Structure 1
Amino acid sequence: MVLEAVACKHCGKTQHVKRYGTTRAGTQRYRCFDCGRTFVQTYTHKARDPLVKERITQMVLNGAGIRDTARVLGVNRNTVSAQFKKNRAARAVVKSSM
């Protein structure tokens, strides 16, 4: 049996990551005791992935439209719009550049 080290999706550390139950769908959840956040290794919905959320913010800040961002990342445009509304820093930068 080969044990694979699971790295935290948020802080990247592997030392204090423990199994932390399962999701409703039965996917294994993990908890990082360094940053205190929970995560799963592979997300069933792209919109839940923190990397996709970060890319949405970056693309909008770089001037990409909502529909273009949704098409490139393979998520719904409502997801892009909701993520943009949640991120106050991104809105402030876009407003100041107008």
Structure 2
Amino acid sequence: MATIEVLCPKCSSAVYRHGKAASGEARYRCRGCHHCFQLNYRYEANRPGVAERIIDMAMNGSGVRDTGRVLKISPTTVVRHLKNSTQRR
């Protein structure tokens, strides 16, 4: 039987299984920083790096609908990420 060693994407520590997502995919939780994540996401907006791409595209003049079309996500999700990005910085 093949095993896959899973490490935390944030701090590279060991992880443990932390149940299942609604889509049926396994969830993992880091022992060090307690970050929860999945290996595979079904929706494109949940994948790592998408939030940064949304902000970059907005700064370069792309509209909400254009950003959603290029990244294959909902325009509503694009607006939500842009509204919340001001709170994080």
- Sort the TM-score into its range (normalised by shorter chain): 0.7 to 0.9
Bigger proportion of residues as helix: 1
In the other structure, the counterpart of 2:52 is 54
Once the two structures are superposed, the pairs formed by residues 1-98 of structure 1 within 5 Å of their partners are: 1-9=1-9, 11=10, 13=12, 15-88=13-86
User: How far apart are residue 7 of structure 1 and its match?
Assistant: 3.2
Measured at CA, do residues 63 and 38 of structure 1 come closer, stay the same or move farther in structure 2, by a change above 3 Å? same
Q: Which runs of 5+ in 1 are unaligned?
A: 93-98
**Aligned length in residues:** 89
CA distance in 1, matches of 2:79, 2:4: 36
Aligned to 2:49, the other structure's residue is in SS state helix
Q: Which runs of 5+ in 2 are unaligned?
A: none
Give CA deviations for 1:41-60 in whole Å, capped at 9, x if unaligned: 11111122232122112211
Measured at CA, do residues 87 and 67 of structure 1 come closer, stay the same or move farther in structure 2, by a change above 3 Å? same
Contact 2:57 2:67 survives alignment (8 Å): yes
Measured at CA, do residues 8 and 30 of structure 1 come closer, stay the same or move farther in structure 2, by a change above 3 Å? same
Identity of aligned residues (%): 37
Aligned to 1:63, the other structure's residue is in SS state coil
Aligned to 1:78, the other structure's residue is in SS state helix
- TM-score normalized with structure 1 length: 0.75
CA RMSD, Structure 1 to Structure 2 (Å): 2.1
- TM-score normalized with structure 2 length: 0.82
Aligned to 2:19, the other structure's residue is in SS state strand
